[in-house]
A = this chain, B = another copy of it.
Amino acid sequence: MTDVAGEAKSVDLSDIDPAQRAAILVEALPYIQEFARRIVVVKLGGNAMVDEALAESFAADIVLLRAVGLRPVVVHGGGPQIGDMMSRLGKEPEFVDGLRVTDAETLDIARMVLGGQVNREIVGAINQHDHLAVGLSGEDAGLITATPRDPSLGFVGDVVHVDRGILDTLLDRGFIPVISTTAADVTGQPYNVNADSAAIAIAEALSAEKLIYLTDVAGVLTDMADPTSLISRLSATRARLLIADGVVAGGMIPKVEACLAAVGGGVGSAHILDGRIPHVVLLELLTDAGVGTMITRSDGGGS
């Protein structure tokens, strides 16, 4: 339980009077009441832990969410880190029909880097505030059961089942699960599983209130060139229209489609946030200042 205020104190609060401080805390009250004991799954890209200050701000957010009564679950990938280790080991990427293949050696590297490096760093950052984070992989306690996607791609798996037992065990005692997304199939063979898909499956299995994607974009913009054209809130119907109309395009399409899959699967709302903004999770969840894009099933849904 260390001094989380260190980083926050670098922000100048000298011009903020007590009434404003109190107002900001009180502003958070209805959100805290609404989300009490709800589960929030946060998907963290591999980039997110590279910038140390961002990693610290993320860890502080997760700990604060839990302290005020939410139950956060962190899911992470680690593509860049896996790539680094492969090149350090002189391992050439393999391709079949233009698709990257995960052979046995690549799988070993992925498990090692995800479970022994990226996961450790996130767990460590959270545990600097409070000893609550517990690293897991989809292989632990049968959390995720996978099935091979395509034999020619090697050990790339798709999620076929999430067993929430170990997550309930940890959440019930107040721990924060941090999950790297390798998983075994029914014979025990491990696979590497796409972290975005795993996050959706976990959020659905937990009937999560929210699924948050921390990305490196501002959210859904109507004009890619204009950061002020951010859409704060989007129903599933309108999101599909924007894709059809070409407003949502390029790399944003899979992100929005993941959000649509999540809300279609029973998650309350899905959020695309810019992980480069310090404390972006906190700002989105506990203040009136929406800072990313929230996608809800219906026009009135979510919050």
Contact = CB atoms under 8 A, between A and B. Distances in A.
Interface of A: 1-5, 7-9, 11-13, 15-16, 18-30, 32-34, 36, 57, 60-61, 63-64, 67-69, 88-89, 108, 111-117, 119-120, 123-125, 127-137, 139-142, 163, 165-166, 169-170, 173, 175, 182, 184, 187-188, 190, 277-279, 282-283, 286-289, 291
B139 A287 contact: no
A64 B8 contact: no
A279 B124 contact: no
B166 A134 contact: yes
A67 B29 contact: yes
Contact of A89 (B4, B9, B89, B187): B89
26 contacts: A1-B30, A5-B27, A9-B23, A11-B20, A11-B22, A18-B283, A22-B279, A22-B287, A23-B279, A26-B61, A29-B67, A32-B67, A32-B68, A33-B130, A67-B69, A68-B69, A88-B89, A111-B120, A112-B112, A114-B116, A115-B120, A120-B139, A120-B182, A124-B139, A133-B141, A141-B175
A283 B22 CA distance: 6
A21 to B, nearest CB: 5
B277 A18 contact: yes
A1 B57 CA distance: 30
Nearest to A22: B279
A19 B123 contact: no
Given A12-B20, A108-B117, A115-B119, 14 more contacts: A11-B19, A11-B20, A11-B22, A13-B20, A25-B286, A32-B68, A67-B68, A112-B113, A115-B135, A125-B188, A127-B184, A132-B141, A134-B136, A135-B136
A26 to B, nearest CB: 4
A279 to B, nearest CB: 3
A164 B193 CA distance: 32
Closest 6 CB pairs of A and B: A116-B116, A131-B142, A22-B279, A112-B116, A115-B116, A11-B23
B19 A24 contact: no
